[in-house]
A and B are shown apart, each in its own frame.
Chain A
Amino acid sequence: MIYLTRRAEFSASHYYHNPDFSAEQNRRIFGKCNNPHGHGHNYTVEVTVAGEVDETTGMVLDLKDLKAVLEAEVLELMDHKFLNKEVPVFATKIPTTENIAVEIWGLLAAKLPSGRLHRIRLYETDDLFVDYYGE
């Protein structure tokens, strides 16, 4: 079994707000992330695929295919977007880094040409990242 990781970057803005909370609660729980017009990050997503090395190609999967899936499913949807307003799933779900990572897993897991999705690692900044293993 080999683990292959491909990295991609996208830039997006978001803010944290739960309509069920009062303005005061939103401010207390989310702090400056609650600023209503949002703020941005350069996100780095690392997609790790587990699989066996194909004997004829020496590869777990074709990196071109992985790049294409990542671009079509994730970057196209999220790059240079205000996640709360422009990505439908985040109309009702707060676009925290945790929730974005879980969402990216859902977008990619069934679309891989071969191999099995092992991990989504999403960096919000160099000093903060989340890992999701699908469960």
Chain B
Amino acid sequence: MVLLTKRYRFSASHRLHNEGLSAEENSRVFGKCNSPYGHGHNYIVEVTVRGPVDAATGMVMDLGLLDQAVEQEVLSRFDHTYLNLDVPNFEGKVPTTENLCVEIYNLLRPKVDGGQGSARLEKVRLEETSSNSFEYSGADNAAAATREK
């Protein structure tokens, strides 16, 4: 079993705002991230897949297929958008980097796990800035939890 990670980049803007909270509460909870017109980040997304090394190819997964899945499900959807208004994924959901990380995981999981070959999605790590990053391994990945110990 080998884990393979590839990094991709996209840029997007967002505003952290919850319609269910008062203006004062939004400002208190989200601080400057609540600025009314939003603000942007250069996101870096690290996609990790796991699987046995195929004896014939020496590879865990065809990287061309991974690129294709990430392009189709993540980059073409989120790159150069205002996450709150331009993509349906965040209707009624605050586009924090936590939520975006989970969203990306859920978008990629069927593509990787359902693709040809035996690779499975292990983890998505999303960097909002070089100081802030978030990781999600799915709700059912006990192996990842053990490995990180």
A-facing residues in B41-77 (Cβ within 8 Å): 48, 53, 56-60, 62-64
> Interface size on B (CB < 8 Å)?
19
Residue of B nearest to A18 (CB): B56
Contact between chains at B5 and A129 (CB < 8 Å): yes
Considering the chains assembled together, what is the distance between the CA atoms of A96 and B7 in angstroms? 18
CA distance A98 to B91 in the complex (A): 40
Residue A10 CB within 8 A of the other chain: no
Across the interface, do A99 and B56 meet the contact criterion of CB distance under 8 Å?
no
Q: Which residues of B contact A129 (CB under 8 A)?
A: 4-5
**Residue count of chain A within 8 Å CB distance of chain B:** 25
**Bound-complex Cα distance A101 to B58 (A):** 11
Known: A98-B58, A131-B48, A132-B2. 12 other contacts (CB 8 A): A18-B56, A29-B62, A31-B64, A94-B58, A97-B4, A98-B2, A99-B58, A127-B7, A128-B6, A129-B5, A131-B3, A133-B1
> What are 29 pairs between A and B in contact, CB < 8 Å?
A16-B57, A16-B58, A18-B56, A29-B57, A29-B62, A30-B57, A95-B58, A96-B53, A96-B57, A96-B59, A98-B4, A98-B59, A98-B60, A102-B53, A126-B7, A127-B7, A127-B8, A128-B6, A129-B4, A130-B3, A130-B5, A130-B60, A131-B2, A131-B5, A131-B48, A132-B1, A132-B3, A133-B147, A135-B1
